[in-house]
Amino acid sequence: MMLRQSILLLLIVVTLFLSVSNARHSDNINDALGKHHKNKKDKYDDHDDRDDVIQIDGDGLEPLYVKLSLTENPGEMMVGWFTYNIMTAPQVQYKGDTKMATVNAHKIQQYKEKKWTGWSYSTLLTGLEPNTQYIYQVGDASSNGKWSNTFNFTTHGAPGTKVTPFSFIAYGDMGAGGADLITIGYVMEYIDQISFVLHVGDIAYADLHSTDNFLFGNQTVWNEFMGQIEPITSSVPYMTTPGNHDVFIDTSIYRKTFHMPTTTYSKSTWYGFDYNGVHFVSISSEQLYIPFSDQHDWLANHLAQFRQSNPNGWLIVYAHRPVYCSADYTWCKDDPIRYLFTESIEKLLYQYNVDVYISGHSHVYERSLPVFDKTIKGTYEDPKATVHIVVGTGGAQEAILSNWLPQPHWSSGVRISSAGYGMLSVLDNNQLNFEFYGDYNNTAMDSFFMNKGTFN
């Protein structure tokens, strides 16, 4: 009983800490402005002036911000889009190697939060053939209904434990405008070579441009961002996890915008999916994660079930906040919430042989050696613990960090202050490669290979 009471007390403390942490937007990082970035107030004054403005083109029925996402089931693809006014007969038309098919939107949600207006649609495409290119468009099937442009996507391989080689891009901490546009442009150069994108939180930074502080966010900024990334999101699945600048009062706006394969828990944002023989798990560092919380229970059960079914397969976990980082930044040096976060999840990463943990939040790129409990375990050739990759470099509207703490013993020594993105290529069941591309000229600033390891 005493243990349960202690846990409940800790839950209350963590909730209060998270509230303070989310309200503390900049965490002193405006003191470290990057080469590509201007001060956020100077750069975004125009958004602040438009805080109460909702811009509607024509009759508000134009399909906007088309996006794809994976589900927990192979052979499926989720298609989403947005309109300001509600469509009469929202639908997706798509075609692979056979005749054209149509699917009505299965979920229609209205934005009712303060200063937000519009409608979110999601449609699940099922029975898709593996390794097949599909063309599709979204729109209104009623007479005189409006339709989007035609897009295409390619499905992944048949389910199984054998790896079929693929690559994906990962970044966090992007925002609307500025260096983010450079990153988006460079990502588009590889769009035909990647299978999906992981955006590890702090997506649009819409909370920084609201007269209500972080409580509701600014729809104008959010919509601008979604328009910027549509060339990516309409072509490959865009898999997300929430950051501290995305959740606002709760996760409702985030969940209506990005249709992830979330669990049955109310308002949850954590999920897992398989891709070409690799299992991915997204967890939320912005919701309760300590022992006895819904998320912690789900994560422990999910990892256990996966390892029971696939003891030796690749396992990649991602979230917004790092477990290990070494930038001169509050979260990386003395934030009590990071201690609780690490204590809550690191043992699970080690127990269930999580190969790679990808995060953002710290606006730099760095990678650790295989490490558990601050102890180096093995090498990249024979890892005996998780390798941690921080890639909070998507544009970082609050600036790229330029100062570092003294190099920790668990660090690989690769620590880069540059906007950019990571590309992870799973080569086979035994090896992967990770590269970091800087926004200066879209060339690899770091590259390393890592073998599949067994921890315990």
d(CA 200, CA 18): 18
The interaxial angle of helices 294-309 and 336-351, nearest 10 deg, is 20
Q: What is the pLDDT of residue 399?
A: 82
**pLDDT of 19:** 41
pTM above 0.85, yes or no: yes
- How buried is 167 (Cβ within 10 angstroms: 0-12 exposed, 13-18 middle, 19+ buried)? middle
Q: What is the pLDDT of residue 12?
A: 39
- The Cβ-side half-sphere exposure at 347, using a 13 Å CA radius, reads 9
Task: Give pLDDT, residue 8.
Answer: 39
- Is residue 261 classed exposed, middle or buried when 0-12, 13-18 and 19+ CB atoms within 10 A define those classes? middle
- Quote the crossing angle between the two packed helices 179-188 and 219-233, to the nearest 10°: 20
Which domains can be identified in the chain, with CATH numbers?
Answer: 64-154 (2.60.40.380), 166-451 (3.60.21.10)
pLDDT, residue 36, reads 29
Token code pair at residue 261: 């394969």
pLDDT at 4: 39
**Which regions of the chain are under pLDDT 70?**
1-58, 113-115, 208-216, 263-266, 396-397
**Dist. CA 333–CA 330, nearest whole Å:** 5
Task: Give 391's strand partners.
Answer: 365
DSSP string, 145-164: --B---EEEE----SSSSPP
Strand residue runs (E) in 70-181: 77-83, 90-95, 101-104, 107-111, 118-125, 133-140, 151-154, 166-171
Q: H/E element holding 390?
A: strand 387-391
